[in-house]
Amino acid sequence: MASEWMSRPRGFDVPDRVPWFPIVSGVQAVGDLLDQLGPPPGFGHVYSTDYVKGWVSVVPPDGWEEADTVRLERLVNNMDDGESEP
Cis peptide before 9 (omega within 30 of 0): yes
Number of domains in the chain: 2
The widest CA-to-CA distance across the chain, in whole angstroms, is: 54
- At 17-58, the pLDDT tens digits run 778 788 888 888 888 778 777 777 667 666 665 778 888 888
Of the chain, the end-to-end C-alpha distance in Å amounts to: 34
Residue 43 resides in a domain? no
Residue 42 resides in a domain? no
Residue 40 resides in a domain? no
Domain that holds residue 26: 4-34
Euclidean distance between CA atoms 47 and 68, whole angstroms: 22
Residue 62 resides in a domain? yes
Q: pTM value? A: 0.41
Work out the mean pLDDT of the chain and round it to a whole number: 77
